[in-house]
Every structure is written in C-alpha cells, then in structure tokens.
A and B are shown apart, each in its own frame.
Chain A
Amino acid sequence: MFRLFSLQAGGTMTEENGFSCPLPFHENAVVTLAHGGGGSLTHQLIEKIFRPAFDNPDLETEHDSAIIEVGAGKLAFTTDSYVVQPLIFPGGDIGSLAVNGTVNDLAMSGARPLYLSAGFILEEGLAMETLWSVVQSMKQSALSAGVKIITGDTKVVDKGKGDGIFINTSGIGVIEQGVAIHPSQIQSGDEILLSGDIARHGMAILSARKDSGFQNQIESDCASVAGEVLSLLDAGVRCLRDLTRGGLATALIEISGSAGVSIEINESEIPVQENVKGACEILGFDPLYVANEGRFVAFVNPKDTAQALSIMKKASADARKIGRVTEPAGKRVTLKTRAGSSRMLNMLSGEQLPRIC
C-alpha cells in the first residue's frame, strides 16, 4: 500500500536554488525504522520525498488504491511490499499477508479484485521448503479471494542482504458502475462500523518472535475482506479503510484529515480479545495503534447501519458500531474513554516500543 496523504503546507518543494531540488532533510539524516512505522514519520517521508517527486493529477489520492478511468469503466490499482519476521506466524505467513493485504487495499476502494503481480526478493540460503510453503499459501489465499496471480519476478540477494523473503504484490480490480467509495463521500452524522476485534496481527507477530516469552498464542487476523466488502457495497457504504500499520487510530486520523471531518469513537465499543489485551498491557501498547491485517472500518448513512452491520456480523460476530462522524470543525478524532473522559487521538511518530517497567 502506498497511500498518499494530501500535501500539507510546508511540504512543497521549491526550486529557488536552481534546477536541483534540495534534500528536504538535515544532511546527516538517515532513514530509521520509525520511517516505516506508518505514523507521522512515514507521512513526512511521503510528503517530503515521494509526493513532490512523483506529483501528477492521478497521484492526488487519499485512497488505498489509485483509481484509473479506462474507457467507460474504472480500475483500481495498488501496490504493497511485505517484510515480516517470523516469515510464518500463527494465523498466516508472509505469503497470505502479501495476497490479502493487496486484495484488501483494492476492496477498500470498492473494487472487485481481479489480478495480482508477485515480486520476490529472496535471500541466498533460504530453505526451499520455506519458499514452497509461502508460495502454496499465496495460491490458497488467491483462490479464496478470487484473484489470479498473473505475473511475477524473482531476484536473489547475497546472504545477509535480505531477511529470507521480501514480497511485493501489485493488484488490479474493477469498480462497478455507480460505486463511489471515497473519504469525500463521508457526511456529518455517518456512523462508523468496525469489522471485528482489533490488534491481533501486530501482537501475533510480536508474540511469535522467539524472544517474546509469551506462551499464550495469539492468531493473526490476516484474511481477505473482499467478499464481505462486495456485499457491503449494496448497503450504502460511503467510505472504507482497512486497518493495517498504525492500527485503528491511525486509519481514523488519516480519514478525518482527508475527509475534513471530525470523528468520535467509544473505547468501550472496541472489541479486543483478552489475550491480546493482556499482551498489550504487559508491553505498554495501546491496541488502538497495533496493526491488523483483516479488519476495516465502514462509514455508513445511519439509515443503512442495521443492514451493513448484519452483513459484517456474518464475517465476524465482533463487528459493531464504534462511533460517528461529527461536525467538520477541527478534523479531529476523539475517543470517549471507559473512565468517562474524552481525549484526542494523535498519530504516533513511529511504531510503539515496549515500555521499561
């Protein structure tokens, strides 16, 4: 996923110094892991480096996919790269992640996912059995999601220059006539539905690492949501967003920013499994910011809430209404806490780090 955020003031590059663009960072600055965490540093990278370089009218998107008009129809196009350790974890592996993640990005723009590409960067010394197992998993995930993998590429890098397997998948889907899923469709008073319990993928990955010490196995929520979303399109959905890096909070903050609306959610309505909650408590993580790979939020007209929710509950009994869109002023996301207070949710700098004590 390479979601571009609308450019904020200060992010524009000028050519005052001649024809070359000056590097918009301090000369000693380097890329850190936090730049890939999906928080404010990731957005800074996009706004300062990628966006100015690639700017064109079609790039002007606040979606999980770019929308291209082809003849009378519309195509959705997206790409995402997958890096994860361990490669195989409870509830999935890098292969299922690579298929489902891209399928879900297409689904979030209201598209029926059709075709994927698969690019592999393999590290010398990778067990062939691991590669086989990951590829089988991709095959299964593609079958379940109803997409075909129709092109690909393989590169091998020296031992120590990769992390076993990196995968890039790009996807194409078709958007049916009349479907317009977009943050700009959101209206004040819309209700926000969450498709299930949150924070499982991030905590599954953490607890699957050999050094975590957790004995309670947490399963990733990694899954395609394309089928569920296609049924939802008939239920008057206005906007969809899958919850990946940065979790529920970051997704809502991004939407509030691009749609120019404020959002209010209730902490007590947000389902988190007990074992996930426990792991988060131990590490000092806020589940609202932990990654998911099979969850999304839907913005619906209140009159359509019942129908949409009944469709979502078929996929997960934990689906529920978690909040609503309020007046546009402020573009802020407010959480009503269990303790009875309200606070604003802000984007984190990078990924959450385990606390000390």
Chain B
Amino acid sequence: MKFVDEYRSGESVGEYCRALAEITTQPWTIMEICGGQTHSIVKHGIQEMIPPELTLLHGPGCPVCVTPMELIDHAVHIASLSNVIFCSFGDMLRVPGSEKDLFSVKAKGGDVRIVLSPMEALEIAKEFPEKEVVFFAIGFETTAPANAMAIHQARQENLKNISFLVSQVIVPPAMRTILEFPDNRVQGFLAAGHVCTIMGTQEYEPLAREFQIPIVVTGFEPLDIVQGIYMCVRQLEAGCAQVENQYSRAVKKEGNLAAQKLIEEVFQIVPQKWRGVGEIAQSGLGLKNSYSAFDASTRFLLESRRCEIDSPCISGEVLMGIKKPDECTAFGTSCTPDSPFGATMVSSEGACSAYFRYKRVAP
C-alpha cells in the first residue's frame, strides 16, 4: 500500500539504523510524544535496532490514557440513565473508572454505542429525537476539529437532544510540564505527526528555543521513527535545538488552517486535568460560552468530585516518561489488558498495553 509499505521496509530501516550508529557518539534520551509512535516502536522492535546509547522514553500522547477518571465516572453515570444513548470511540469503553467501565454499563443494559466519528452521534440524535444523545468528545488536537465540527453543526441544525462530554487536551503545555520537572531526562522530542497535521509546527518553536531542545515532528511507521530519531540525534550531536519536520508528507508548517479556525470557533483554552498527572495550566480545550448549551456536564448537572482509588498503578509516571511500564510491580501480573488498573494498559495507544502486547524476542 502506497505511503505505508515503503515506510515499513526492513532494508530502508536498516540503512537508517546504520547511519544513526555512525553519528551517535554518546548517550541521548529522546521522548516520542504520541502513543501511536510508542506502539510502532515497541511493535517493530525499534529500541533494539537503534544504537544502545539511545534511550527512548514514552510520552503522554494517549488520549484515552489522560482522560481523567472522574470524567469516566461521569460518562458511566450518564450512560446508565434510561433515556440516554451514549456514543463513544471504542477505545474508551474498556477504560476503568473508579468503579466500572462503559462496557459494564452496556452489559447492564445501558445504550452505549461505538462510533467512528462524532458526526455519527449527530445522525443518531436525528434518528432518535425522543432520546438524549451524548458524545464523549475526547482526544488531542487530532480529534478536536471533528468534535468541533459536530458541535458546530449541532448548533447550526438547532439539535436539542445532543450534548458533548468534553475532555480535549493539547500537547505543547504537557511538553513544557515534562521539561520543567526537576529530574527531567528528556533531551530531544519526537513530536506527534498527526497533531502537527492540524496545528502545524510553529507552536513548538518557543519550546525548542526556551529549553534548548531539538523537536522533530515525526510520523508513525518504522522508517518515519528511525528517520525522526536520526534527525534528532544529528541535532543533539551538533548542539542544535530546532524544530524539524520529518513528516513533511503530511505536515505543513502552518498546519490545517480550516481545522484551526473551527477549533477556535467552538473551543477555548482552559486548565485541564490529566489522569495520573494532575492539572496542567492552559492544557485543555473547553466549550466556549456560545456553545455551553451543548455541554453534557451542565445538562446532566454533574458535580465535580475528586476520585482517588488505592492502586499501585504508576500510569502517571509512565505518561510523563519518568518510568517505563515494566518498572511497575503490577505490570503483567495483577494488571493486564483483561483486568487493567490504569488506562495505559487498555488503550491501543497506551505504553503499558504496547509493552504487554508486543513482548520482545531476542533475535
């Protein structure tokens, strides 16, 4: 398949790994932001192919993983109501709240539906005017335009029976938080290619300058990733700290302006809680006042509450690159995809799930 097969070619990956070995003279620690990149790294065994001096840390870019537990509890509460059709991306259904997940609600008779796009929720709302339809609008900058489009269209069409439970996060403030940790080890970033498809690369310039750190916008296939690492190491070895674009076949410097406009129309920047990490200033997107009628948390009068459960889960540290999944005592023993403690073990973009699913085999 074009744009996929050539980026999975063992020969090209091998060539880049050899080139990488030639330019690497000392240990470097690089973080890939996106969970999709983490999965690709673990699935294709990239850590084993690159020079041993290079350490890859896995970043927070897993939308399911960072959605706060109280929001899952809110979702569970709403989805259990008899007049509600609760629509969500599939990955969200297995994520544990403080008591249960959305799959359990479905199993007990809740009308929980997996949709591939928020626009489907709109169609469902039109098909069932007597029901309250709620869409779980989560994700990073990548899902924000489609979610914004659905919310915008719901207002345009004056739909009264749809609302959105929103948990939108944005990447750059999380990178800043990681860099500001006193014991931060990250020396270079592979920025998330798809996020930059929407937002462009310019917002990373200040971070690269302020923290003197190279940031390489990188794709998701094995060749993309070793190329991204190569570009990052080339900068580190030369003492550079710039924003570079490896994923130029998809990412433009200015991003997707139409999508950005739509995001601005519907959302405003708000403080946002990240599961396992805590609140990060200016790191979320909340509905603007002009769209507050579509806010499920006010429509269903959800009270904000703290929920803390006693769990050995270290997903917060995993998300921030402080620990690796296999450093957790529960990993693969009491915490597995069948009975996960944290969202990082559930999601197809979670680092723990990647480590569990793609166990390595010595060549």
Per the 8 Å Cβ criterion, residues 122-159 of A in contact with B are: none
- Contact indicator A355/B8 (Cβ below 8 Å): no
Q: Does B14 contact A (CB under 8 A)?
A: yes
Cβ of B91 and Cβ of A274 under 8 Å apart? no
Inside 8 A of A277's CB, which chain B residues have their CB?
A: 1, 4
B107 touches A30 (CB 8 A): yes
Who on chain A is nearest to B49 by CB? A341
A355 adjacent to B1 (CB under 8 Å): no
B142 located at the interface, meaning its Cβ lies under 8 Å from any Cβ of chain A in the complex:
yes
B281 interfacial by beta-carbon distance below 8 Å: no
Query: A213 on the interface (CB 8 Å rule)?
Result: yes
A258 at the interface (CB under 8 A from B): no
- Give the secondary structure class of A's interface: loop
Between A and B, how many residue pairs show CB distances below 8 Å? 121
The reply to whether A341 and B9 form a contact with Cβ atoms under 8 Å apart is no
Alpha-carbon separation in the docked complex, A41 to B120 (Å): 29
Q: Could you tell me the distance in whole angstroms from the C-beta of A74 to the nearest C-beta in chain B?
A: 37
The 8 A CB mask of B84-127 against A (1 = contact, 0 = none) is 00000111111000000001101110000011110010010000
Residue of A nearest to B4 (CB): A281
A337, B103: Cα distance in complex, Å: 33
Indicate with 1 or 0, residue by residue over B126-149, a CB within 8 angstroms of chain A CB atoms: 000000000000111011000000
Contact between B14 and A343, CB atoms less than 8 A apart:
no
Among B1, B104, B358, the residue within 8 A (CB) of A344 is B358
**Among candidates A40, A212, A274, residue contacting B338 with C-beta atoms closer than 8 Å:** A40
**Most chain B beta carbons < 10 A, residue from A44, A278, A355:** A355
B120 pairs with A342, CB closer than 8 A: no
Task: Indicate with 1 or 0, residue by residue over A19-45, a CB within 8 angstroms of chain B CB atoms.
Answer: 000000000001111100000110010
Beta-carbon contact of B103 and A356 below 8 Å: no
Q: Does A161 contact B (CB under 8 A)?
A: no
Is A73 part of the contact surface with B, judged by Cβ < 8 Å?
Answer: no
Q: From the candidates B14, B46, B348, B363, name the one contacting A355 in the complex (CB within 8 A).
A: B348
Q: A211-B120, A355-B91 are in contact. Are A343 and B361 (CB under 8 A)?
A: yes
State how many residues of chain B have any CB contact under 8 Å with chain A.
54
> Is B222 among interface residues, defined by CB-CB distance under 8 A?
yes
Complex: A346 Cα to B359 Cα, angstroms: 8
- CA gap between A277 and B9 in the complex, in Å: 16
Residue contact A338 to B8, C-beta cutoff 8 Å: yes
Query: In the bound complex, how far is the Cα of B48 from the Cα of A343, in angstroms?
Result: 11
Nearest B residue (CB) for A267: B8
A356, B359: Cβ atoms closer than 8 Å:
no
Partner of B1, one of A274, A339, A340, A348: A274
> Quick one: which of B188-202 are within 8 Å of A by CB?
194
Nearest CB in chain A: distance from B220 CB, A:
10
Query: Are B91 and A32 within 8 A (Cβ)?
Result: no
Confirm or deny: B253 has a beta carbon within 8 angstroms of a beta carbon on chain A. no
CB <8 Å contact, A354 and B89: yes
CB of B13 closer than 8 Å to a CB of A: yes
Instruction: Tell me if B44 is interfacial: C-beta within 8 Å of chain A.
Output: yes
Bound-state Cα–Cα, A341 to B140, Å:
30
Closest to B358 in A: A343
> Is there contact, CB below 8 Å, between B114 and A353?
yes
13 sample A-B contacts, Cβ–Cβ < 8 Å, listed by A number: A31-B107, A33-B107, A44-B338, A337-B8, A338-B10, A339-B222, A341-B45, A342-B45, A344-B358, A344-B359, A354-B91, A354-B114, A356-B139
* Chain A residues engaging chain B, CB cutoff 8 angstroms: 30-34, 40-41, 44, 211-213, 274, 277-278, 281, 283-284, 332, 334, 337-344, 346, 348-349, 352-357
Which 3 pairs show the lowest CB-CB distances between chains A and B? Answer: A341-B45, A353-B90, A340-B10
